[in-house]
Structure 1
Amino acid sequence: MKKTIIQGRVSHKLRSMAISGWIAAKVLIRRALGRRLVAEWPFLVEYGTLYIRAQFNHAFRLSNDIAASRAYFDSLYALLETFPDVDVRPTGECEPRGHWFVPQVRHSDATLLHFHGGGYTFYAGVSHHFTACLAHTLGAAVFAPDYRLTPEHPHPAQLEDGLAAYNYLLERGIDPATIVLCGDSAGGHLALMTLVRLHQAGLPKPALTLGLSPWTDVGRRGESQFGNDPYDLVQGYMTLQFADWLKGDQILSDAELSPICQDFHDLGPIYLQAGGKEILVDMIRDFAATVAAQGSRVRLDVWTHMNHEFHAYGDYLPESRDALARLREAIAWALGQPNGFEADACTEYDCLRG
């Protein structure tokens, strides 16, 4: 570990440290007995999955006090890498709230508008760190808006903030042909929904939209949503609670809030990445097939043994390195730079490797 963050209330820190130690011991014993959770996972992936799951579960038990829930989740986390080459600066007083992540050496003319994950409810320190990872790895400037969170701010607050962030980039003179919409998990949901809203508002479409383990249906869809609970760091029940918080007290159907029920025809190419062990993989596959059937250009790569947002392992894990490299290729392709990326409809990684 490059850096471990321990912060907040003493009770939160002590509980998180105890959980961390217990999970580490449990994983070591299981592996010594030949009972790995997933045979292909190294220790750190198994430990990280079980630890984050335990932290999320307890945070949900504290959700009657959402501030305490968020503080607990952020009380202990570790960073595998740090990115001193990325300058992080907050936006100004009259700008949308958020941060710019700018690598000191840029390798791409693209500007990413990145929406963080967290079920629309959490903006954890690891999410902030992952944005720095994207800026470092992709060699591109990234703007990450600090959009309003649920349950305090239900729909359409996040969509309004997404649209405002896109307009902010246009007002800064950034060519939409160099803008890449991007989001992970619920942020992937927001990226896709913002893409639809841009079209409805008559704004120019971006060069590319990226969805990293995106949430594509706020209802129930696919066996993996609950069937992959044993392997994932987020759980099926959480998606339903996140959806309730997104709706608030409003009478809104799942279809109104789900990317899979929107029209993406002629909205530009979409590139999706997912893990075959994550709870959202079935709905992501369904979404890719739906978009392809609409006649839009979409590609989906699935890493069979990975789970939700495996990209966050950065350079540590071969699969995350590969996924991030493919994001670089996709962005270069979208900006007209020749490379080996092919935007074929509904292509899965294993098929390509075969």
Structure 2
Amino acid sequence: MEPVIEHRLGSSPKARRFALFMRVFIRPVFFYSPLTRFMLRLAVVLDWGAPLLMRPAKGTVVERVELAGFHGEWIRPDGRAADRVVLYLHGGGFFCCGLRTHRGLVARIASRSDAVAFSVAYRQLPGAPLPVSMADALEAYGWLLDQGRKPENIVIAGDSAGGFLAFTSALAALKNGLPAPAGIVALSPLVDLDHEARASYEHTRRDAYVPVHRLKALKRLLLAGMDGEPLPSPCDRDLRGLPPVFIVAGSREALRYDAELMAERLAQAGVPHRLQIWEDQIHVFPAFAGAIPEGREAIGEIAAFVRDTTSPVALAD
């Protein structure tokens, strides 16, 4: 099987202006802030302030759920109930962002997919290393199954670091004898923790705001206590048995490298997949759908994948 890659051409003036804003105002903050435990703790400010800018649509019902050592939240657009569930794992480099920063994005995906979403506040740095984040993501999937949710109606989705967790959760479910979800959606996913090859990738230095040069230091923090163990990079795992995968990435972002690499590995494993590369779009551009028309279009593509890969659902009145 050859990698299935679609190139979505064209970039709107709004998208170009937004990318310029990110390069001028956001990139310097991410590039020059020291990656210390103190700075990692300050990153929580992003999640606190997010509701001021990234609210879900009016009428969306949000319900907090306590799990074992962490929590999540149901997101029900227009208060609906549905059999179809999007299990969402937020990005943020395993140290920043959270439920609030991604609530608007998750609500949009759920609404367009005729689904409800369960968004997970998995534990992350500086309080927890990568194995804990991975365990929490898997626990959330198992919890949905325990609640009677059918695996054929669950799609695991995530962006960036959350894309990493979407893959590891599905792989761990298969390894532990749990049923596979209906599909996986990965937005600009991180899938390779060996950063040497990405360092020389042509788009790494042109990324609008992702500080790829900090990934080596981040890797040391993430893998604390895992000395001698193999890297848990999804791209290096046995991917056979995974459900259909849909990947979205921008053409000029550093993690396009990961998206293309994962498409190649999925093809080698015989896993049905599709990678869309959107011209001149920034990292996780669907998260900015309120400002970028291509973000709204990409969410439509994500929603179509979710609907197509799940069983028919019955919406409650």
TM-score when normalising by structure 2: 0.84
Within 5 Å, give how 1:168-183 maps onto structure 2.
168-183=143-158
Specify the code of the residue in structure 2 equivalent to 1:282: Y
Report what 1:230 is aligned to: 206
Report what 1:206 is aligned to: 181
SS at match of 1:85: coil
Higher Cα Rg, which structure: 1
Aligned pair partner of 1:90 in 64, 77, 87: 64
Aligned pair partner of 1:122 in 96, 99, 120: 96
Q: 1:100 to 1:108 in 2, by over 3 A?
A: closer
SS at match of 1:91: strand
Asked if 1:244 corresponds to 2:217, the answer is: no
Report what 1:139 is aligned to: 114
SS at match of 1:257: coil
Asked if 1:264 corresponds to 2:248, the answer is: no
Q: 1:178 to 1:49 in 2, by over 3 A?
A: farther
Q: 1:229 to 1:76 in 2, by over 3 A?
A: farther
Whole-angstrom distance in 2 between the partners of 1:142 and 1:218: 28
Task: Report the CA distance between 1:131 and its aligned residue.
Answer: 2.6
SS at match of 1:45: helix
Whole-angstrom distance in 2 between the partners of 1:63 and 1:293: 39
Whole-angstrom distance in 2 between the partners of 1:49 and 1:164: 37
Task: Report the CA distance between 1:109 and its aligned residue.
Answer: 3.8
Report what 2:315 is aligned to: none
Task: Report the CA distance between 1:271 and its aligned residue.
Answer: 0.9
Q: Tell which has more relative contact order, 1 or 2 (C-alpha 8 A, sep 6+).
A: 2
Specify the code of the residue in structure 1 equivalent to 2:305: A
Report what 1:24 is aligned to: none
SS at match of 1:228: coil
My pick for the range that moved more, 179-188 or 78-87, is 78-87
Task: Report the CA distance between 1:73 and its aligned residue.
Answer: 4.3
Consecutive unaligned residues of structure 1, counting only runs of 5 or more, are 1-37, 338-354
SS at match of 2:289: helix
Whole-angstrom distance in 2 between the partners of 1:311 and 1:318: 9
Q: 1:283 to 1:44 in 2, by over 3 A?
A: closer
8 Å CA contact 1:110–1:179 kept in 2: the answer is yes
Q: 1:272 to 1:261 in 2, by over 3 A?
A: same
Report what 1:64 is aligned to: 37
Q: C-alpha offsets along residues 99-142 of structure 1, whole Å, 9 cap, x if unaligned?
A: 11111265964201110101111134423443333334433211
SS at match of 2:194: coil
Number of equivalent positions = 298
SS at match of 1:61: coil
My pick for the range that moved more, 208-217 or 104-113, is 104-113
Q: C-alpha offsets along residues 32-85 of structure 1, whole Å, 9 cap, x if unaligned?
A: xxxxxx988442332134333233235x42633146431454576662664122
8 Å CA contact 2:106–2:119 kept in 1: the answer is yes
SS at match of 2:231: helix
Asked if 1:100 corresponds to 2:74, the answer is: yes
Task: Report the CA distance between 1:205 and its aligned residue.
Answer: 0.5
Specify the code of the residue in structure 2 equivalent to 1:116: H
Specify the code of the residue in structure 1 equivalent to 2:287: A
Specify the code of the residue in structure 2 equivalent to 1:325: G
8 Å CA contact 1:85–1:136 kept in 2: the answer is no
Within 5 Å, give how 1:1-354 maps onto structure 2.
41-57=15-31, 60-61=33-34, 63-66=36-39, 68-73=41-46, 79=53, 82-92=56-66, 97-104=71-78, 106=80, 109-124=83-98, 125-220=100-195, 221-222=197-198, 227-252=203-228, 256-335=231-310
Task: Report the CA distance between 1:315 and its aligned residue.
Answer: 4.4
Q: 1:217 to 1:271 in 2, by over 3 A?
A: same
Q: 1:93 to 1:201 in 2, by over 3 A?
A: closer
Whole-angstrom distance in 1 between the partners of 2:108 and 2:200: 28
Specify the code of the residue in structure 2 equivalent to 1:121: F
Specify the code of the residue in structure 2 equivalent to 1:244: R
Task: Report the CA distance between 1:180 and its aligned residue.
Answer: 0.5
Whole-angstrom distance in 2 between the partners of 1:88 and 1:173: 20
8 Å CA contact 2:44–2:96 kept in 1: the answer is no
